[in-house]
Amino acid sequence: MATTPRTEPAAAAPFEPSAEPLPDFSGVDVGALAVRTDHAVLGDVAALLLRNWPTGEDAVAYYEDGPGALLR
């Protein structure tokens, strides 16, 4: 009976964030999306976003949230 030598999996490279910027979805009308979509998951996510959407008085942003912030 022939045996196959055991090989160990290669070690995964450490995770690094992509240099590619995320798309800008700031112009998306989430309310219209929630009403018009026929995709079950997307509709549920849009409805959840609207339910938890902060008012103008509740919204908070920190300087770390800026587009030039580098996460390390």
User: pLDDT tens, 21-38?
Assistant: 888 888 888 888 888 888
The mean predicted confidence, pLDDT, of the chain is 78
pLDDT of residue 59: 64
Q: What's the CA gap between 24 and 5, in Å, rounded?
A: 50
Tell me, what's the pLDDT at 52? 80
Supply the pLDDT for residue 61: 65
- What pLDDT is recorded for position 68? 60
Using DSSP, state whether 64 is helix, strand or coil.
Answer: helix
